[in-house]
Amino acid sequence: MYGQKSAVEIDTDSFFKTLPAESEDAKPASAHAQVPFVTPLREMNFVLNEVLDAPGHYQKLGYTDLTPDFVDEINGAVASFAEEKVAPLYSSGDAEGCKYNTDSSVSTPRGYKEAYEEWSQGGWSGLTVPEEYGGQGMPLSLGVIKSEIIGTANWSWSMYPGLSMGAINTLLLHASEEQKQTYLTKLVTGEWSGTMCLTEPACGTDLGQVSTRAVDNGDGSYSVTGTKVYISGGEHDMAENIVHIVLARLPGAPEGTKGISLFLVPKYLPNEEGELTGEESADNRNVTCVGIEDKMGIKSSATCVMGFENSKGWLIGEPNDGLNQMFTFMNTARLGTAMQGVCHMERSYQGALPWCMDRASMRALSGKKYPDDVADKIIVHPDVRKNLLTIKALTECGRAMIYDAALKADGMLDDDEAVREKCEEELGLHTPTMKAWLTELGIECSSLGMQVYGGAGFIKDYGMEQIMRDARISTLYEGTTGVQALDLLGRKIILDKGKELGKQAKLQIGEAFEIGTSSTAGNHNLRGHALEVASLSTQWVTTSMRIVAGAASDREIVGSASTDFLMFSGYISGAYQWLKMMNAAGTALDANPDMDAADRSFYESKLHTGRFYFDRLLPKAYALRDMSIKKPDSIMNMPLDGWDLATTLPSNSGDAYAGYKPE
């Protein structure tokens, strides 16, 4: 593993010279400037150790070796790998993209395969997997932190090992022991990678329409036939085999989601010893990549159309229980996608701040700040500062939200089913909010990062527009924002009768009261913020009750209220995290009045940023609350003939996958 570093300077051209060309006609690496990346270890450690007490949490779970120093060593090693091996491929990978070859294989950009091999050799794929399957047995939360570091360095590259983690967790909980020994162990070493195959050409969010079918071969295996689309990492050259986790229907299965089963379908079939023969080729593939998508962003992540034609696979778990099992994968993916929002926020901030410190334009309204220069640095202008502080405030509370959830998720793989169920219930309330709120704001922060550059942010030379393009997918895959909102309000609150919501609100009110009555609150003016968190936590519950009451007479209210309610929930959750962070910062300042200047500046910046959140961002919560309780009439009552029906889709719309139709 790699030693910790704070920052690195990489000569990308020299780095590429050491790598073999994937093909003679490969596109050259981008000559454009790249947004710098340094892992924010100090910020991460603050949340883990001083806000959430991760050391105490790990000790309670029995991880006695996971001291703050040891966790910092692990994170520092991941950081060095990210900064040295993955971040330098960010812009070049975007410029080169993935290539679909004539033999239906896919080539990833130069350097990707070599970085993945080094990642696998370092044992990183198995960090949180039980030792009996070749892993290191660390808690899941460390894997989430690992994902943040790698994802911020290069989100597209991180998707390949990230999807494998979803497959690993699914197999850990639902696969047979034979399946675990054959497939899980290879996923853990990184020799094989994994995917999630849900979406079909005519079936996206509504998985009840899944038409891929599986027929029993009579020998314990099944023949799977159908087409899956938008499959990230469905085909690539980084691992020798790919394990597809596939939703399909058995003959005679019930209609809708109750008739879906889950199957394991490998790209290449291993022999009886669970190994590949070494003779794998395009001629003996079990699954075929029909093509890859030409996308707006995440261009170096292969998004594939996968053809299954009598592809041999094996049932995972019980028949017709596939959707419940797949939710293990989906929850992992949704937490990871929530992290994507934070990753793009952090990237945007790291790209925007140096520009604002260096770029000179106009004079401050209050008088010259750089009198010896022709103009003042733009960091002095209020609107620029507001943009930067928005990114900073949302990044930091987003990180705290995800780390808080990650510590709760450490029970997901517990041997005790009751512990797992409790974990699922607690996470269920938070997952849709984090996934949707953080990704929506990840896009907003990416835009603000471009904005401070002015016109320079719109061109490729400065690297900011790539962050925006890469971020845009995050509100779409793993369930759109609207779907997450319906899940939150419909399933996690209404069907749950508000039990988990009530528990969380009670927790926040209690903690706000404890902080608000402390000496720290008095010393650092936190009492008003604590009172506001308590008040909004109460309104969180009462607002949901008003929506439910209205839905009794008009069911459209749930659909019209859901997204506004979710965003309202996000701003409340962000305020709760900021109150805890401000309290931790104030406590540190009070405990050590003689701390050095750098530490004092760090903690004082937490208090400043938190005040900005409460003053400038949290007020949006009240507008969202009010919008969520409006009647849906202005949305739903407009007749269809009032819309511009002369606008039509192109005649070939929807035919993108017509070229592959398995028998």
- Residues with catalytic annotation? 478
DSSP-assigned letter for residue 94: H
E strand or H helix that includes residue 229: strand 222-232
Half-sphere exposure of 659 (CA within 13 A, CB side): 8
Beta-sheet pairing, 99-100 with 288-292: unpaired
E strand or H helix that includes residue 110: none
Cβ–Cβ under 8 Å, residues 185 and 133: yes
The phi, psi pair for 136, rounded to 5°, reads -105, -5
> For every residue of 461-500, which 3-state class applies, written as one string?
HHCHHHHHHHHHHHHCCCCCHHHHHHHHHHHHHHCCCCHH
Cβ–Cβ under 8 Å, residues 360 and 377: yes
Is the four-CA dihedral 420, 421, 427, 432 of positive or negative sign? positive
Spatial separation of the C-alpha atoms in residues 225 and 300, rounded to whole Å:
28
Nearest Cα to 299, choosing from 465, 450, 428? 465
Spatial separation of the C-alpha atoms in residues 313 and 286, rounded to whole Å:
9
Nearest Cα to 150, choosing from 119, 175, 172? 119
Tokens standing for residue 106: 């896919």
Contacts of 639 (CB under 8 A, 6+ apart): none
The phi, psi pair for 546, rounded to 5°, reads -65, -40
For 506, other C-beta atoms within 10 Å of its C-beta total: 13
Cβ–Cβ under 8 Å, residues 266 and 187: no
Spatial separation of the C-alpha atoms in residues 99 and 178, rounded to whole Å:
35
Residue type, 20: P
Q: State the residue for tokens 């890859």.
A: 292
Buried residues in 144-160 as b, exposed as e (16+ CB within 10 A): bbbbbbbbbbbbbbbbb
Contacts of 202 (CB under 8 A, 6+ apart): 209, 211
Spatial separation of the C-alpha atoms in residues 600 and 585, rounded to whole Å:
9
Nearest Cα to 346, choosing from 302, 387, 398, 294? 398
Q: State the residue for tokens 């892992």.
A: 39
DSSP-assigned letter for residue 650: -
Half-sphere exposure of 164 (CA within 13 A, CB side): 31
- CA-angle at 540, arms to 535 and 544, nearest 5°: 145
Spatial separation of the C-alpha atoms in residues 109 and 99, rounded to whole Å:
8
Tokens standing for residue 145: 């932190």
Cβ–Cβ under 8 Å, residues 440 and 475: yes
Q: State the residue for tokens 């806000």.
A: 51
